[in-house]
Chains A and B, each alone.
Chain A
Amino acid sequence: MIRAFILALLMPLAVQADTMRMAVTTSFNNSGLADVLLPAIEADTGLQVQLLVVGTGQALRLGAAGDVDAVLVHSRTAEEAFVAEGSGTHRREIMYNDFVVVGPVDDPAGASDAATAADALTRISETAAPFVSRGDDSGTHKAELRLWDSAGIAPEGDWYRPVGAGMGAALNTAAGMGAYVLSDRASWLNFGNKDGMAIAFQGDPVLFNQYAYLPVNPAKHDHVKAEAAARLEDWLVSPKAQALIDGYRIAGEQLFTFNAQR
């Protein structure tokens, strides 16, 4: 036992042959879908995909710097800018899920009675109920800012708390403060610390959250594994991927809907 342990310590630090790196959003990874897709990808294509779990903003920065081979994110405007500046070759839509407004069970702002997402946010700001914002330039943060904008509110004041953290950390903070927070449904369902929190508002079509796959441009960074990135893209739009994505459920709820064009 001890000898095996020492041998393992002395072994060279592992480097795999057919690997590629993909930057993904925290919401994609926290949903648990990655744990289902990655083994299937490795079995079908022989590709070992290493995930860097960051916010959409940082994921695109990693792609632009050439530190990853592809990104899978959810913020259309930022993605289109990424392709336009030549950092990515193209943008391919893969699947979508949706955002929900999570808040305290007793719902002090009455957000559950709102007709639209904008209405729900208006109620929160009018009652000055605490609201936790991701504040980290992630896809979820950008979606939240768009929602405030559509409600015609500039969120500021003591009740509005940007935490500059990932989805899980923001949910932890909101649970601790009894605050509202915008979360993607997958992260919320997979979240372990739901104490006293529940979905306060859901179902408005503007809460639709499209994920897209963007290979990093090999013309800009010649070390990028373009061939591996193309193989991964072919797999992500395959019927096998569709079955796995559509079939992924937490507590009986379908989280993601496959909508790639073949």
Chain B
Amino acid sequence: MDDLIAGLAAAFRLIVTADPELIEISIRSLQVTLTAVAIGCLLGLPLGAWLAVRRFRWRRGVIATLNALIGLPPVVVGLVVYLMLSRSGPFGVLGLLFTPTAMIIAQVIIVTPLVASIAHQAMRELWAEYHDLLISMNATKTQRILTLLIDGRRALLLAALAGFGRAIGEVGAIMIVGGNIDGATRVLTTAIALETGRGDFALALGLGIVLIVLSLLISGASHWAMRTERQGRW
């Protein structure tokens, strides 16, 4: 109980004093996660829509694989990316291990299946509705996918937010590929793991509260930007 109260006090103190280290790692957290989610959406959203529109032989298999990949353990993703990027691995010459870029790569792999799968679910229902209309208008494949993406933007926002939620709270993969280097690859989640290891529960909890507040802010901001959940629209 004491630890909880001390944690709240620590969070309050960190935010009110605008602790420079807190701001630095919060910005790095957002940089890494938002970049990863943006790339994940660029890959995942069209893939989801394409899977809804296109009929081909291995479609079922691809969708089933995609859904299974949602459960991909981040630690395993981290380990594989680590082995790939290590100096003695196949992409070692790039020198990317223990950089924010490596963390983004790992998070893109974690986020993309989730975004694609949620997008596919939403697009499939929308496609059932729009199918006859779009076919009768003789729309091309690209036009069909674009229509679905634009009209289904709220469901796609949900997909992006789910991806963001998975990425911002993730610690296993980025700890391995980033190395939690102070001033270079330390982000909120890895800092929390570190402070817990030091037995400084108050600071760890304080950072955790900052993390939760950040997630809420991003979610709120994106709803505001897409003008969803407002009077007269839903």
Contact = CB atoms under 8 A, between A and B. Distances in A.
Given A168-B198, A172-B196, A8 B27 contact: yes
B200 interface: yes
A26 B200 CA distance: 15
A177 interface: no
Interface residues of A, number: 34
Contacts of A15: 99
B179 A223 contact: no
B30 A192 contact: no
Nearest to A224: B87
A9 B33 CA distance: 11
Interface residues of B, number: 27
Nearest to B203: A192
A13 B197 contact: no
B31 A53 contact: no
A9 B86 contact: no
A165 B199 CA distance: 13
A192 B200 contact: yes
Binding site of A, secondary structure by majority: helix, strand, loop or mixed?
mixed
A48 B86 CA distance: 21
A50 interface: yes
Interface string A23-58: 000100010000000000000000010111100000
A166 B197 contact: yes
Interface in A33-85: 48, 50-53, 65-67
A9 B95 CA distance: 23
A52 B116 CA distance: 34
Nearest to A172: B199
A168 B197 contact: yes
A43 B99 CA distance: 23
A161 interface: no
Contacts of B92: 66
B222 to A, nearest CB: 15
Nearest to A66: B87
A13 B101 contact: yes
A196 to B, nearest CB: 13
B127 interface: no
Contacts of B198: 30, 168, 190-192
B98 interface: yes
B95 A171 contact: no
A250 interface: no
Contacts of B34: 9
Contacts of B99: 13, 15
B182 interface: yes
B184 interface: yes
A154 interface: no
A21 interface: yes
B87 A223 contact: yes
Interface of B: 27, 30-31, 34, 86-88, 92, 95, 97-101, 179-184, 194, 196-201
Given A13-B31, A65-B88, A168-B197, 16 more contacts: A8-B27, A9-B30, A9-B34, A15-B99, A21-B98, A51-B181, A53-B180, A168-B198, A172-B197, A175-B199, A191-B198, A191-B199, A192-B201, A193-B199, A193-B201, A194-B199
Interface of A: 5, 8-9, 13-16, 19, 21, 26, 30, 48, 50-53, 65-67, 165-169, 171-172, 175, 190-194, 221, 223
7 shortest interchain CB distances as A-B pairs: A168-B197, A193-B199, A192-B199, A66-B87, A13-B100, A65-B88, A50-B181
